[in-house]
Chain A
């Protein structure tokens, strides 16, 4: 702490209005970062998640609104093939394991663990991004064929955008974990990245149900 100048006294003026002056609240003893809901980054991430969850919800609502207006569903085409979507669902769910391993490693400041975990996560990310290509192939409809096609392509596309961004985040973060510069707060970033990853995984489940199962009922 010696290198750092601190304000450790009652300054002249600027003490709120006519409050009877009490003592000072010295916060130098407090931690310089925190995990989970205690960290600001967690709230920021939560905000992003709220927005994107709303977008997904709106898109799903659109899907069913269009369906409610349509004579039949899916509009004169076959429902999507189940196989690739289901495979990807399993990969995504499996990725939760290394993801949480990374999260715990981060929370216990275990750099080696974080590095390993993030590499595993990136491997999973690569896997589901590749499988995602086959998913688009197995939709049995083009986005410009009819409104049903537009809806499923947009729904799948929206989620793919999240996979890509999450993959990019993780990649940058992983590199940083190897090259540095590192400080304790970087572990918070890793933990929040893991939280976002969870969102991308669990947001997929309803979307999977809508894209692959809704047309079958």
Chain B
């Protein structure tokens, strides 16, 4: 802490109206233009979460339609063409427009608060990423409503999704949606990594980073190394379709399996960058409601890292039915088994935490307990799928559908709902209704198992995935009907959640700053937090800043000396978070929004003509330059604050 000792400690009277000034400096500008120019991480985070939830509901409605179609054999509610579009869009929406973005959205809102910062590292980029995500999602749903929805599955296997067997522009929209969401996801990842590494409160060393922040940091790194694969793959796909390249044309030296390798090299890690943030929510919620820090912090961190590394060695277990060399398959089976160890470790640590803690049964904890039951089942069926011989039987059957929903809904959606109940008071300043919350949980939990448990049996009884209907004499009818009943129950429980959220937002009990008696820094900010998060950014002296006294004897407890009328914050060193320099954040700007619009036009146009890339990039260059170009007035202010390194 050398630099800190150098820093002189002033003691003078409180500056009058400091809070008002800061609020004025950090808040979003007024008016519609102001709304579009907003870059405050909380505004963007809120919009991000709400949009992602919107897509979750849309994807859910698609799922409900499928369940109604499958409720009885030889059903003709929707025909094969529409059904294929529906299940493709359901998978695409849930994976690309809900599961991954919603986790990043939570991070955009929470991470700066949890590490005692005032903003994400690149707020304008955060805004741009959000708009790109939103426009991409709107594009794909527009295409669907126009009868041009993608219809080759969320995995878009070639040649089915290729130019020869996927006529029209349907799958081009899919491929371009990937580009949208990847741009968004990758930018947010850079943002989160830089935020976590450089903007942590002084004293928050690596060993003191909250587990949720760890999870998001690791996830961000995974995204950076996994997403490029599918981005490249979807680009090849669109080039094959638009300009006749031959990447996937076996007759001209291409290869059909190349797509599967590229897709699953991303696709399998993707499961984990949906799952790992869920683990982060788990740790945050369990610690608070067991009234003690999570047992085995180092083990937890190590497990998250181990998972993220092993996740890159699993992709071929989606391809066991192709003729991949046997030896390779054995390796991937081994990896699939191995990745269970870190997850098991975390589960045991949480159980230990609950066993040695004092338990406060509230809705967030209920959802966490739901995780244990559902995810453990999903994990075990995962082991079965990891084994080559068993996979050969259940691969591409409803057994897999059951498994993946047990893992993703159990491992991510249940913790996520818990997280929404947990952080709702922080975001809105009001508590959610506990009684509705419990109904919401029990209906969701029951409905989920009724909907998805029977699918295990359907799969073993030979029902393949992605069939729009099935003959009556296969005997799959009753279980499918049961499953549909479960699906409806889930829909009701989600409706309850919406009702609860909307009502509580207006009439919920006023929340204190720290309604759950939690330990992490976001609970030191107001509920809802002021635009500037912390009037005096905190200095951290331990892993549980709100629970334990500072471990750094005689260390200061808060930061002063930051400008009030300029968006200025403290940048710290990556490892041990020592104060490094004062970082000046950009002002709100309309240009990220305009740039996103321009990029959207370019991307959609390039579905129809390769030349759109050329004139489109010129179209994008203009707003991006304007975005970067500094304002004279701001520069003046900065010069006044300037101090050379």
Contacts and interface: CB of A to CB of B under 8 A. Distances in A.
Is A in direct contact with B (CB under 8 Å) within the complex? yes
Interface of A: 1, 3-35, 37-38, 40, 43-44, 47-48, 50-52, 54-55, 58-59, 62, 65-66, 69-70, 75, 109, 143-151, 153-154, 164, 168, 172, 176, 180-186
B54 interface: no
Q: Which of A44, A47, A54, A146 has the most CB of B within 10 A?
A: A47
Given A4-B566, A58-B262, 12 more contacts: A8-B15, A9-B11, A14-B524, A16-B558, A24-B11, A29-B7, A43-B121, A47-B189, A58-B265, A143-B243, A182-B635, A183-B638
B13 interface: yes
23 contacts: A1-B641, A6-B563, A10-B11, A10-B560, A14-B534, A15-B536, A17-B523, A17-B545, A22-B556, A23-B11, A24-B556, A25-B9, A27-B579, A30-B570, A30-B581, A33-B642, A38-B645, A40-B122, A43-B190, A62-B247, A144-B243, A145-B252, A147-B254
Q: Which of A17, A25, A154, A172 has the most CB of B within 10 A?
A: A25
Contacts of A18: 546-547, 549
A43 B637 CA distance: 25
A19 B225 contact: no
Contacts of A33: 581, 583-584, 642, 644-645
Contacts of A16: 116, 521, 524, 538, 540, 545-546, 557-558
Contacts of A149: 245-246
B555 interface: yes
A176 B629 contact: yes
B625 interface: yes
Contacts of A143: 239, 243, 245
Contacts of B584: 32-33, 185
Contact of A32 (B521, B555, B643): B643
B10 A26 contact: yes
Interface magnitude class on chain B: 35 or more
Interface stretch (B74-82, B149-157, B227-235, B277-285): B227-235
Contacts of B631: 181
B13 A9 contact: yes
A148 to B, nearest CB: 6
Contacts of B539: 22, 25
A169 to B, nearest CB: 9
Contacts of A109: 644
A9 B9 contact: no
B254 A65 contact: no
A168 B645 CA distance: 28
Contact of B643 (A24, A30, A51, A69): A30
Nearest to B560: A24
Contacts of B65: none
Interface stretch (B91-99, B193-201, B343-351, B597-605): B193-201
A13 B539 CA distance: 14
Contacts of A54: 224-225, 228-229
Contacts of B580: 30, 34, 38
B587 to A, nearest CB: 14
A30 B582 CA distance: 6
B478 interface: no
Pairs A-B, 6 closest by C-beta atoms: A28-B561, A17-B546, A47-B190, A147-B253, A150-B245, A25-B556
Contacts of A11: 14, 18-19, 535-536, 558
Contacts of A154: 235-236, 239, 245
Contacts of B546: 16-18
Contact of B524 (A4, A17, A181): A17
Nearest to A62: B258
B11 A19 contact: no
B255 interface: yes
A16 B522 CA distance: 10
A51 B556 contact: no
Contact of B644 (A40, A153, A184): A184
Contact of B536 (A7, A38, A55, A147): A7
B249 A147 contact: yes
Interface string B199-213: 100100000000000
B541 interface: yes
Contacts of A183: 630, 635, 638-639, 642
A115 to B, nearest CB: 17
B466 interface: no
A15 B621 CA distance: 45
B556 to A, nearest CB: 4
Contacts of A12: 14
B21 interface: yes
A147 B556 contact: no
Contact of A6 (B8, B189, B514, B561): B561
Interface in B1-23: 3-4, 6-15, 18-19, 21-22
A19 B541 contact: yes
Nearest to B635: A181
A137 to B, nearest CB: 18
Nearest to A26: B561
A50 B560 contact: no
A116 to B, nearest CB: 21
Contact of B253 (A44, A146, A176): A146
Contact of A30 (B236, B521, B549, B579): B579
A184 B641 contact: no
B628 interface: yes
A43 B570 CA distance: 16
Contact of A25 (B7, B193, B228, B229): B7
A172 B628 contact: yes
Contacts of A43: 121, 190, 193-194, 197-198
Contacts of A22: 539, 550, 554-557
Given A24-B9, A29-B7, A40-B571, A3 B21 contact: no
B210 to A, nearest CB: 13
Interface in B109-132: 116, 121-122, 125
B230 to A, nearest CB: 10
Contacts of B632: 180-181
Contact of B560 (A14, A25, A185): A25
B193 A47 contact: yes
Contacts of A65: 255, 258, 261
A34 B581 contact: yes
A15 B557 contact: yes
Contacts of B519: 17
A77 to B, nearest CB: 11
B394 interface: no
A27 B549 contact: no
A44 B83 CA distance: 42
B15 A7 contact: yes
Contact of A5 (B224, B564, B579): B564
A168 B621 contact: yes
Nearest to B125: A44
Nearest to B6: A29
A62 B190 contact: no
B18 A21 contact: no
Q: Which of B14, B240, B265, B523 has the most CB of A within 10 A?
A: B14
